A and B are shown apart, each in its own frame.
Chain A
């Protein structure tokens, strides 16, 4: 069965410093993985998705994630945090052979001035 674990419920960084949001997955098959961002009282916006074409995936707003099969991880990074990055981030795995998605419990990113 597929599952996803976000290792930190809250992360605080200073503006201009790197961001690391951690996600581990469990999947019997080669997974489809996504990162979404949600600003307060808004819907979810796709940041990036793992397509299996490349292990390093680049997304919008300077974010990227690296798929590491040996570590079953798909961590989200950004070299330099901006105040506008403050939001909640969700790691998502799609359930193979179905339309279903499984969401992590989210990581709330706080960016300090």
Chain B
């Protein structure tokens, strides 16, 4: 089945530690996205990538980094510079730009700082 796989489902991070969240898709989508979800705030865009080896900052990129070396993969690293990383992280993908093209979402990773 085609879809987006995020791993792990739950992740615990110690203060000052970098962690990487995995996102893999087999939908052959060019565009991929990372969103952060906090209660009552909807989804906020961290980074997005329209094509391999290219990505752009979203609205809340500080303290995060990404790479896009393969079309299928778009990992997100939460660095120690991110002061409040505890949140639910969602990865998404979509087909090339066009009207009415929806985004497809993974099942999310819940990151908690301990």
Q: Which residues of A come within 8 Å of B, CB atoms?
A: 9, 32, 34, 36, 41-46, 49-52, 90, 92, 94, 97-101, 103-106
Contact = CB atoms under 8 A, between A and B. Distances in A.
A94 B97 CA distance: 10
**3 closest cross-chain pairs (CB), A and B:** A43-B105, A105-B42, A103-B43
Interface residues of B, number: 30
Given A36-B105, A43-B105, A43-B108, 8 more contacts: A32-B99, A41-B110, A44-B43, A44-B105, A99-B50, A100-B45, A101-B45, A105-B42
Contacts, number: 62
B40 interface: yes
A92 to B, nearest CB: 8
Given A41-B110, A44-B90, A101 B97 contact: no
